[in-house]
Structure 1
Amino acid sequence: MRAGRRASSQGDGAAADAGSGARRGFRGDIQGLRAVAVLLVVADHAGLGPLHGGFIGVDVFLVVSGFLITGLLLAEVERSGTVSLAGFYARRARRILPAASLVLAVTAVAGYLILAGADLLRLVQDSIWAAFFAANIKFARDETDYWAQDESTSPIQHYWSLAVEEQFYLVWPLLLVVLVLLLRRRARAGSSAPATPGAGAVRRAALATIALLSLASFALAVRGVAADPTGTYFSTAARVWELGLGAGLAAAMPWVARRPAAVRGLLAWAGLAAVAASALLFTEATRVPGWPALLPVLGAGALLACGDAPVRWGPARALSVAPLRWVGDRSYSLYLWHWPVLVLGAALLEVRGLSGWQALAAVLLALVLSDLSYRFVENPVRHTQLLRGRRRGLVLYPASLAALGVVLAVVHTVVVHDFAQPRPPVTAAAYADRGLAKDPHVALVQASVLAGRADAEVPSPLRPAALGLSDRVAADLGECSYSGQDYPLPLCPRGDPDGEKVLVVLGDSHGRHWAEVLDGIARKHGYRAYFLVLAGCNAASVQPWSAVDDAPDEECAAFHAWSQEQVEQLRPDVTVLSNDTVGAYVGPDGERVSDTAEVARLLEDGLTERLASLRPLAERVVVLADVPRLRTHPSDISRRGATLGDGLAKPNGRSMRMRDAAKRAAERAGAEHVETRQWFCAYGECPVVVGDFITRRDYGHLTLEYAASLADPLDRALALR
């Protein structure tokens, strides 16, 4: 299972509103389009087939949503002269809330049985945001990175686009009401004009309004994907143009329908081809909702506007076959269920990704669940007479929040209670008869390995708290965090601001996770300290391959040049390099290199070159060995019934090979090398918990608390004077 930005949402609460009314004018081709879109998304998420761009299903669904909902709203205006906001939101509640709330509740209960405590608490938090249709805000605020290998994926990550859709529908019906009122006032002001605006006037005003909003939204999306791709992907403002295209087409349908049938049939086929091409050609690196998104969005728009062309050879017949209509009816439920099933399935099997057969089984289970919820939850609630009427359905908002709140509160309380029970930490004294090292820090690591082998209970409380592990952040470097900043970059002296000696730290996020400790050591010895570190940018003279852009990391190349200039000007007494040594690099031919042996060679040569360039500029150049990477995620020790043995494993083999390459580079360049392995591993294994400290916040990054505990041994190892 590939989690990622591809946790795109069906966003199809919309189409359901159309289905909730009478079948008059029902178009089977739209149901088929919904089925195609959701199947693209599901196949992509499950890793089934070559549809790596299946995430464009979200774009298709947003267009469908804008088209169907706006069509219903305009039909209501033409029928009654206005829009009943209470009636609209009651219909939305009947359609959206039952299935959405059910999936959130079931996912929380299943998560309690399967997930680690830290991940479960994050799930509870995410569910609260999702319940208020604000999941996109939460994930954007958290800077959720779908390609980060060190982060676990939220089982309800896909709710973000449902939030986008509902936020749009908080505003768009209100704008239509305002337009109708303004047109009515203008109509009354004219001596010979009718008292109420005509249908054509309302449609023209709606079309002009949504066109302006969509153009502004598209401009924001194009600019945003370049500056902040993650935030833009979650942004409602950057998605309005996709909903707006569908809305504009709905307003323009009386004019579109008058175009020649043959032209419309050809456009419909072109639209289907555009959607298919997007699914086949797009990749994780494709920057949507920017320029590339025009292809699937315009394709979906062409299908909606022209799919009902009265020609026998059009795509409507193919899209209207019974199996596709069946999936289309259940597309909302299928979208809601498939992602939690995939994510929780992988967690249950304790694998990073499901195999092909496992993923197929998960998809089939999601399809069964979607059919059950469609038949026994969605349709019964949608059609019950108890909730008929313009306002009765509104009761579902507080009712669903209350019911879901009870489930989430119980899950949260039980988990917190489990971890509130005090349990003693691991101590070296308990294993004094096992011949531990004299160094107390090393001895504690050895004792923690022995405790893990004995499956000792997990200490409580831990530092940091195990349940808050997913909220851990990197050391605060203020305005000198550097990521995404424009040049010239600032310099932020830390340590002893008045110190005559200078310490410079070069590296990436693995240099940053030592920042607070090195800051204190520099202050103690009278050094001004400068942390020239950039996440994802190894200090070696080698260009990383950006996982986000799937291209060479140009930001890192620029940062290398800038940081070298700063070292030349600062002429530090001590320069320390600390890097994450696991990653992919750009080879001599400009292509991505990920093979372990080749990456190790590139790292060794690149680090040797950088160290050689630094040695004439500093009295001492020190390579601080990378932290051995874990094979097990630290959150595993917060699973129900976990012991310290669940957080014990051999270090990651690739990580150790890269650490060896870095050590050879230091020797070749004549630089100093400080080993760190003894503070993290012993007897060939690395414990997640040392004493009562959680050592990492993910597979490779230190927790700030454990890093602080290593201040004394690190101080001695660096031997600053």
Structure 2
Amino acid sequence: MQAGFRPDIQGLRALAVLLVILDHAKIGPFHGGFVGVDVFFVISGFLITGLLVSEAERTGRVSLLGFYARRARRILPAATLVIVVTVWIGTRLLSGVEADGAVKDALWATFFLANFKFASDGTDYFQNENPPSPLQHYWSLAVEEQFYVVWPLLVLLLCVYATWRAKRSSGQRSLGPRVRDLGVSPLVVIIGISFAYSVSYSTTDPVSAYFSPFTRAWELGIGALAACLTTRLILLKPGVQAALSWGGLVAVAVASLAFDGTTVFPGYAAALPVVGTAALLAGGLRPAGWGPQRLLSIRPMRLAGDWSYSLYLWHWPALIIIGERWGWDSGWRGAVVMAGVVPLSALSYHYVENPLRRAKLFRVRRMRGVLLYPAVVVLTLPMLAAANNVVQNEVNGGGPPILVPESVAQDPQQDQVVALVKASITAAQADQDVPGDLKPPILQLGEDIPDLGECQYFKINEDRPLCPRGDTDGDKTLVLIGDSHARQWVPALDELAQRYGYVAYYLIREGCPSSDVTPWMVHGGPSTDCAAFQDWAREQVADLQPDAVFLGSEANRRGFTSDDDELVDDVPTMAQMYQEGMEREIDYLSPHAGKVTIIGDPPAVSEEPGPCLSEPGATLGSCLMTEDPVSLTFIDSLRQAAAAKGVPFVETGSWFCSDGLCPSVVGDYIAHRDRTHISRSYAGFLTDELEAQIHLDPAYVAPGAA
């Protein structure tokens, strides 16, 4: 078996990081370049396992202290440097909201738990409207380190077992089974379970699956399995190894060109680059001269492979921070950014990564290497606390709250909320300072979402409980159906239900409109789980026979599904489908409800209010926004559906905008949580405005009624 350094593996590392960079910088057709991360996983599993089993077979044991000391020297110096520099620059160039997010993400990255943080946040690399974290790429480091908490322990157990078997062997001449061979069976089990979980979870919860160590363990396991099988794979003829290598290279290339943000991943799709990488590693043991190893071993590829870790660490924060500050994040601009990242990565490799990895200070005494972990925490946490204080101080506005003119405030004929919106626009046009003591505080805006408790209804194939809210002892019932744009009215409906004696049920599923249409999924295809949820919601209405049903939603902008399961994404056709779907929904529900009401969506706005309000030097004028015309089209679709079916339609636009202008701050409330959703705090403020249109008060008598 060929031992020692393999220059082709350095070239493979270079290929992996190049694919990742091309994808992230949107350079060329490599929309599936994210598979470079999967290539790294397989390489890591192969190399680390090779070292572990070689040590076990050479010495009869595995030094966990030595292993973790080597990992600390290899991973921590450059990773910590990038965290510190990213946070420091972020507090100076990013908005307060973005900088605050970077500080929080840095804390998770420091403890190698970033993947759980991003999965919890619902972060989606491919479809997120909000800018991603400049430290989001640390999720892959976290996955690796989580795997290596477990795998060396397993190798150690295999070592103990092999020694025990050797002692029991007849004649004491046999050394018993080799650790390399013993590793095959548990790896096959790990790979099988993890791959099955990956396929299932990637379909039901693709965002969480993308970051999960359990959906990625099989990828590292494939590399580990290849390392355990090297003594057998090397027996393949050189020509077979060369052909295997070319096949693996083609598989990785095809994945990088054919995949994109709509690909269900990792799932089945990850098998193409993962198995391809394993084939390249296995085929490089003793290949014929015409294999791709010669290409992968040329000096530029080896050099990029040496720098690959630093390149991976630096490229993402550079793209995100520069992209947010100046818009230089893709295409030729992205190439310019990367031209600056390459020398930065070379310097990082030569003056930080490599010197500390080889420093005698840490190599002579292994414990010193292990102590790098607590040392990094001790040094990093005060820096993050200081950065957090900087951000907190910068986002606190100092202006007064916006007030309605006294003459208007005393006019009983004036709608005070509408008047406050107009006063807020006037204040913005005068470029007044952002008020202090905003509701919610700017840095809490992203979390200002109504709580649905156990009744989220997002996961597929799970029991859907009913969660009574409002006045749970009330003798009347109301139901709210829809997506996150229905959910935003929960604070107001909760208050009204308690006030007037209604038991409230919120049948809400994110991304699933109340209109009888099937949205197109992020990863392509009809959202059959949404259709199933819509059927279930109708069944609940039929069982509950509520006094009032409220429908709220926004059209899924990815598109709807036609009758022949094709994507429809042109706005006029979508608007027509949206209207017709809502008319059908009203027909379904009306026989089972005392009253059906559509709550119109507020207009979406032109930019994110949180980042805008937390920009250095932000004023109300710099964050005066305009209405999004596409959202107005969909709002009108539901207005037309209500008119066609003779049901009430709640006009909400004047509570947010006037004459096409939308203030980010109304009074002392931040009205929108993001471009398309309103804040929970402002929704609560609108309780009485909503009641004036939906009339839940049993004592209410309609004008003209007898």
Q: Same fold (TM over 0.5)?
A: yes
Distance change >3 Å, CA 495–CA 401, structure 1 → 2: closer
Equivalence for 2:300: 323
Contact 2:398 / 2:434 at 8 angstroms: preserved in 1?
no
**Contact 2:96-2:394 within 8 A present in 1 as well:** no
**Counterpart of 2:124 in 1: which secondary structure?**
coil
* Contact 2:408 2:414 (8 Å CA) reproduced: no
**Following the alignment from structure 1 to structure 2, what is the Cα–Cα distance between the partners of residues 498 and 398?**
54
The C-alpha deviation readout for 1:175-204, integer Å capped at 9, x for no partner, is: 222222232233234462259x47x61211
Gaps of 5+ in 2: 699-706
Question: For residues 147 and 289 of structure 1, what CA distance do their matches in structure 2 show?
Answer: 13
Deviation at 1:336, TM superposition (A): 0.8
SS in 1 for 2:551: strand
Q: What is the match of residue 567 of structure 1? A: 541
Distance 2:410 2:233 in 1: 83
1:550-604 CA-partner distances (Å, limit 9, x unpaired): 2111112112222223333433332221111352212344322222222222222
Asked if 1:413 is matched to 2:392, the reply is no
- 8 Å CA contact 1:436–1:446 kept in 2: the answer is no
Task: Identify the match of residue 418 of structure 2 among 437, 442, 449.
Answer: 442
Of 509-518 and 394-403, deviating more is 394-403
Cα offset, 1:608, TM superposition: 2.6
Normalised by the length of structure 2, the TM-score is 0.93
**2:86 partner letter:** T
1:49 matches 2:28: yes
Alpha-carbon distance, 1:421 to partner: 6.7
TM-superposition CA deviations, 1:500-558 (whole Å, max 9, x none): 433222221111110121122123223333222221111112211112x3211111211
- Cα 1:485–1:176 change in 2 (3 A) is closer
Question: Are 2:32 and 2:258, in contact at CA under 8 Å, matched by a contact in 1?
Answer: yes
Counterpart CA distance in 1 for 2:73 and 2:260 is: 36
Task: Tell me the secondary structure at the aligned position of residue 505 of structure 1.
Answer: strand
1:627 aligns with 2:602: yes
* Counterparts in 2 of 1:70 and 1:610: CA distance versus 1, 3 Å: same
Partner of 2:576: 601
User: Could you say if the C-alpha distance between residues 262 and 704 of structure 1 is closer, same or farther in structure 2, counting changes exceeding 3 Å?
Assistant: same
SS in 2 for 1:623: strand
Cα distance in 2 for residues equivalent to 1:394 and 1:297: 31
1:541 alignment counterpart: 516
Letter in 1 for 2:16: A
User: Given the alignment, which residue of 477, 484, 493 partners 1:502?
Assistant: 477
Q: Percent of counterpart pairs with the same letter?
A: 45
* 1:211 paired residue number: 188
| d(CA) in 2 for partners of 1:618, 1:213 | 52
What letter corresponds to residue 664 of structure 1 in structure 2?
Answer: Q
Find the partner of 2:334 among 353, 359, 376.
Answer: 359
The verdict on how the C-alpha distance between 1:569 and 1:191 changes in structure 2, with shifts beyond 3 A counting, is closer
What secondary structure is seen at the aligned counterpart in 2 of 1:239? helix
Which residues of 2 match residues 77-226 of structure 1 at below 5 A? 77-190=56-169, 192-194=171-173, 197=175, 201-226=178-203
Distance 1:596 1:430 in 2: 43
Shift of 1:435: 11
SS in 1 for 2:676: coil
- 1:189–1:103 Cα change, 3 Å: same
How far apart are the structure 2 equivalents of 1:432 and 1:376? 67
Matched, 1:660 2:636: yes
The question of whether the paired residues in 2 share the 8 Å contact of 1:615 and 1:671 is answered with no
1:74 corresponding residue in structure 2: 53
Change (3 A) 1:82 1:566: closer
Q: Which residue pairs with 2:323 in the alignment?
A: 346
* 1:384-463 paired onto structure 2 within 5 Å: 384-389=359-364, 390-419=366-395, 423-429=399-405, 438-463=414-439
Which of 574, 585, 594 is residue 610 of structure 1 equivalent to?
585
Quick check: 167-176 or 59-68, which moved more? 167-176
User: What RMSD over aligned residues (CA atoms) do the two structures have, in Å?
Assistant: 2.5
Distance, in Å, in 1 between the alignment partners of 2:684 and 2:401 is 18
Is 1:489 aligned to residue 464 of structure 2? yes
- Cα distance in 2 between the residues matched to 1:123 and 1:431: 46
| Distance (whole Å) between structure 2 residues aligned to residue 496 and residue 209 of structure 1 | 55
Q: Distance in 2 between matches of 1:416 and 1:529?
A: 38
Change (3 A) 1:194 1:467: farther
Q: Secondary structure at the match of 1:552?
A: coil
Provide the C-alpha distance between the structure 2 equivalents of 1:487 and 1:208, rounded to a whole number of angstroms. 33
Q: One-letter code of the match for 1:692?
A: D
1:593–1:369 CA distance, 2 compared to 1 (3 A): farther
Structure 2 counterpart of 1:630, one-letter code: V
2:533, 2:189 → 1: CA distance? Answer: 39
SS at match of 2:183: helix
Q: Is the 8 A contact 2:541 2:592 kept in 1?
A: yes
Instruction: Work out whether 1:263 is the aligned partner of 2:240.
Output: yes
- The CA deviation at 1:485 is 4.8
Q: Aligned partner of 1:567: which letter?
A: V
CA distance in 1 between partners of 2:252 and 2:127 (Å)? 28
Residue 370 of structure 1 is matched in structure 2 by: 345
Matched, 1:337 2:314: yes
The answer to whether the Cα contact below 8 Å between 1:582 and 1:654 also exists between their aligned partners in 2 is no
Please give the alpha-carbon distance, in whole angstroms, between the structure 2 residues aligned to 1:694 and 1:63.
47
Task: Label 1:72 to 1:626 Cα distance change in 2 as closer, same or farther (>3 A).
Answer: same
Give the 3-state SS of the residue equivalent to 1:528 in structure 2: strand
Deviations 1:129-164 (A, max 9, x none): 111111112122223233444433111111011011
Once structures 1 and 2 are overlaid, which stretch shifts more, 307-316 or 294-303? Answer: 307-316
- Partners in 2 of 1:370 and 1:331 — Cα distance? 8
CA distance in 2, matches of 1:587, 1:529: 33
CA positional deviation for 1:626? 0.3
Moved more, 421-430 or 133-142: 421-430
What are the Cα deviations for residues 404-428 of structure 1, in whole angstroms up to 9, with x where unaligned? 2232122111112234575422222
Moved more, 293-302 or 420-429: 420-429
Q: Which of 242, 248, 251 in structure 1 is aligned with 2:225? A: 248
Q: Is the 8 A contact 1:150 1:698 kept in 2?
A: no
Letter aligned with residue 283 of structure 2 = C
Please give the secondary structure, in 2, of the residue aligned with 1:649.
strand
Q: Paired residue for 1:550?
A: 524
Of residues 81-90 and 257-266 in structure 1, the stretch that sits farther from structure 2 once superposed is 81-90
Q: Using the alignment, how far apart are the partners of 1:479 and 1:315 within structure 2?
A: 54
The whole-number CA distance in structure 2 between the counterparts of 1:706 and 1:305 is 60
- Corresponding residue to 1:301 among 238, 263, 278: 278
Deviation at 1:241, TM superposition (A): 1.4
Residues 1:585 and 2:560 aligned together: yes
For residues 265-280 of structure 1, the aligned pairs below 5 Å read 265-280=242-257
- Cα shift at 1:616: 4.1
Query: Residues 18-37 of structure 1: matches in 2 within 5 Å?
Result: 25-37=4-16
- The whole-number CA distance in structure 2 between the counterparts of 1:466 and 1:381 is 41
Amino acid at match of 1:237: F
Match of 1:18 in 2: none
Q: 1:265 to 1:446 in 2, by over 3 A?
A: same
* Aligned-residue offset at 1:481: 2.1
Structure 1 residues 276 and 430 mapped into 2: Cα distance closer, same or farther (>3 Å)?
A: farther
Say which SS state the counterpart of residue 596 (structure 2) adopts.
strand
Q: Is the 8 A contact 2:397 2:433 kept in 1?
A: no
Q: Provide the TM-score with structure 1 as the length reference.
A: 0.91
Deviation string, structure 1 residues 308-330 (Cα, Å, up to 9, x no partner): 43411111112112222121111
Describe the shift of the 1:668–1:433 C-alpha distance in structure 2 as closer, same or farther (beyond 3 A).
closer
Query: Residues 705 and 404 (structure 1 numbering): CA distance in 2 closer, same or farther, change over 3 Å?
Result: same
Contact 1:423 1:461 in 2 (8 A): no
CA distance in 2, matches of 1:437, 1:403: 62
